[in-house]
Structure 1
Amino acid sequence: MKHIIQVGFGPLGIKTAQYIAKKETIKTVAVVDLNPEMAGKSLNEFCATLSDDVYISQSVDGALNQLNFKPDVAIITTVSSLEKLIPQVETVAKYGIPVISTCEELSYPWDLQPELSKKLDDICKANDIACLGTGVNPGFLMDYLPSVMSSICKDIKHISIERVQDATPRRIPFQRKIGAGLDMEAFKKKEAEGMLRHVGLKESVYLLANSIGLKLDKVTESLDPVIAEQDVASEAIKVAQGEARGVEQVAHGYVNGNCKIRMHFKAAIGEPRSFDRISVEGTPNFSTEIDGGINGDIATCAITINCINSILKAKPGLHTMADIGVPGYIN
């Protein structure tokens, strides 16, 4: 049995705990969340299928003081920012506990934030732990999966990845992150503040490029609102005609002025068709599509759990999906 401490118990943390509760070989034994309204409550108060003898603490120190053993892995589902994540990892690292996090900027930070990457790598090595950033996207669909599929190619001229999804069934924080329900003035304001976008698209470009041996000269990214042509709604957010129902982002990776990687991400409430598509121009040429797309909330929780064995085998330091052992389903 592998024991898990979870840091962060929002919608993603709760869903992760629910999935862990159904497993035979892993168990959540401690939970940390900074929300004072959650302090001291049992997991069972948030979901009937969860434990009634694990209580939420407001600090890692407090959670571990209640245990008489060290958990095997920490799963952190809190922030998208690498800078904000590092102190959280450091708090866990001092206990010698390996970390898996859904922090989007952690998925491949080396090119975009080299100083912070080195700082985190040094923390991990000093405490003899491995740390991994993963998730469905970034971390799998637009970067790791196409890198695996590229292994059948004799040569590659260009790779195009598209992820188009109906955000209607996604968790509320995700819908807000993509600007659903905002008028154009509010959308542009939040965009300028850096609070409105799918985080991790550039990280995905760099992860894929590194995996297939491309040294990129430049990476560009554009962001535009997806405008509602009629009123649409999810369970939590109503979008009037003319308001943003989501976001569309496109990133390009260049070598010697030539575009080698193109990534197109679109997520919006009321999107008529969801799909994930990988297209390779090379030898052989091919295109493969997942009709209906992969539900991001389900897959992010699942891959985070299914990387546990891989991170336990990894050497100390900061890792990406490109350099750990291949993860697999954990029963």
Structure 2
Amino acid sequence: MINVIQIGLGPLGQQIGRYIADKNKIQTVAAVDINEALMNQDFGQLINGKTTNVSIKNSIKDALINLREKPDIAILTTVSSIQKLESQIENIAKHGIPIVSTCEELSYPWEENPEVSAKIDTICKKYNIACLGTGVNPGFLMDYLPSVLSSVCKDIESITVERIQDATPRRIPFQQKIGAGLDLKAFKAKEQTGTLRHVGLKESVYFLAGSIGLKLDNVTEELNPVIAEDTISITSMDIKKGDARGVEQISHGYVNGICKIKMHFKAAIGESRSYDRVSIKGVPSFTSEIDTGVNGDIATCAITINSAKSIINASPGLHTMATIAVPGYIN
């Protein structure tokens, strides 16, 4: 049995808790959230209405105090910013617990955040634990999966990765993160603060480049609203004609002025078709497509849980999906 401490009990953390509760090879034995309103609540009551012996605490120290043994792994679902995550990782690492985090910027941080990446790597090695940033995207669909697909190629000229998704069934925080329902002035204002975007697209470009041996000399990224052509009404919101129904981001990776990697991410309410597509131009050239796409909320929770065995057995330090053993489904 794999014992887990869950840290961060927002919508994603709660969904992960529900998925773990349905399994027989892994269990949540401790839970932490800084929300004072959750203090001493029963974790099971929060996630699925079933009483457990797990009481939610506001600190890791308090959550561990009555456990006979430390958990095998910490699942950390708190922030997207690696800068904000550093102290959280150190606080967990002090207890000698390996970490799987859903922090997007942690998925491949070495290029965009080299200094804090080195600090986290040093912290993990100091306390002899491994740490991984993963998720469906970044962490799998736009970086790890195309890296795997590239392994059947003799030569590669360029790779294009597309993730187009209808955000209607996604959780409300995700819909808000992509700017759905905002007028264009509010969209632009949130974009300028950095709070409105898909986090991790550049990290995916660098991950894929590293996997296929490319040293990129320039990486660009552009972000634009997806405009509603008609009024849209869904359970979570009403979107007026002319307002944003989502976001489109495109990133290019160049070598000597030639585009070698293109990432196209689009998530919007009312998108007509969802799909995930990897197109490789090389020897052989081919396209691999997942029709209807992979549900991001389900897959993020699943890959976070299923990475547990891999990170428990990984060497100390900061890892990416490219440096751990291939995760497998946990029953």
Which interval holds the TM-score relative to the shorter structure?
over 0.9
TM-fit CA distance, 1:91: 0.7
Other-structure match for 1:229: 229
Match of 1:76, as an amino acid? L
Does the aligned pair in 1 maintain the 2:18–2:48 contact within 8 Å?
Answer: no
The superposition leaves residues 150-177 of structure 1 with CA deviations (integer Å, 9 ceiling, x where unpaired) of: 0000000000000000001111111100
Secondary structure of the residue aligned to 1:253 is strand
Other-structure match for 1:163: 163
The superposition leaves residues 278-312 of structure 1 with CA deviations (integer Å, 9 ceiling, x where unpaired) of: 00000001001111000000000000011011001
Other-structure match for 2:55: 55
Other-structure match for 1:127: 127
Cα distance in 2, alignment partners of residues 154 and 316 from structure 1: 33
TM-fit CA distance, 1:131: 0.2
Cα distance in 1, alignment partners of residues 298 and 129 from structure 2: 27
TM-fit CA distance, 1:193: 0.6
Does the aligned pair in 1 maintain the 2:219–2:254 contact within 8 Å?
Answer: yes
Match of 1:57, as an amino acid? K
Does the aligned pair in 1 maintain the 2:15–2:47 contact within 8 Å?
Answer: no
Please say if 1:325 is aligned against 2:325.
Answer: yes
Q: Counterparts in 2 of 1:262-301, with a 5 A limit?
A: 262-301=262-301
Does the aligned pair in 2 maintain the 1:158–1:280 contact within 8 Å?
Answer: yes
Does the aligned pair in 2 maintain the 1:233–1:269 contact within 8 Å?
Answer: no
Please say if 1:185 is aligned against 2:185.
Answer: yes
Secondary structure of the residue aligned to 2:225 is strand
TM-fit CA distance, 1:216: 0.5
When the two structures are superposed, what TM-score results if normalisation uses the length of structure 1? 0.99
TM-fit CA distance, 1:50: 4.7
Cα distance in 1, alignment partners of residues 145 and 255 from structure 2: 21
Other-structure match for 1:12: 12
Secondary structure of the residue aligned to 1:47 is helix
Q: Which runs of 5+ in 1 are unaligned?
A: none
Cα distance in 2, alignment partners of residues 7 and 221 from structure 1: 32
TM-fit CA distance, 1:39: 1.1
Secondary structure of the residue aligned to 1:159 is strand
TM-fit CA distance, 1:49: 5.7
Cα distance in 2, alignment partners of residues 255 and 51 from structure 1: 56
Match of 2:64, as an amino acid? L
Cα distance in 1, alignment partners of residues 180 and 311 from structure 2: 35
Secondary structure of the residue aligned to 1:45 is helix
Does the aligned pair in 2 maintain the 1:18–1:49 contact within 8 Å?
Answer: no
Secondary structure of the residue aligned to 1:158 is strand
Match of 1:313, as an amino acid? N
Cα distance in 1, alignment partners of residues 257 and 250 from structure 2: 17
RMSD across aligned positions (CA): 0.9
Aligned length: 331
Other-structure match for 1:28: 28
Cα distance in 2, alignment partners of residues 273 and 236 from structure 1: 20
Cα distance in 2, alignment partners of residues 201 and 155 from structure 1: 24
Does the aligned pair in 1 maintain the 2:73–2:98 contact within 8 Å?
Answer: yes
TM-fit CA distance, 1:233: 3.1
Please say if 1:212 is aligned against 2:248.
Answer: no
Match of 2:320, as an amino acid? T
Residues 315 and 50 (structure 1), Cα distance of their counterparts in 2 relative to 1, 3 Å cut:
farther
Match of 1:20, as an amino acid? I
Match of 2:261, as an amino acid? I
Cα distance in 1, alignment partners of residues 319 and 298 from structure 2: 23
Q: Which runs of 5+ in 2 are unaligned?
A: none
Does the aligned pair in 2 maintain the 1:310–1:325 contact within 8 Å?
Answer: yes
Match of 1:87, as an amino acid? S
When the two structures are superposed, what TM-score results if normalisation uses the length of structure 2? 0.99
Secondary structure of the residue aligned to 1:262 is strand
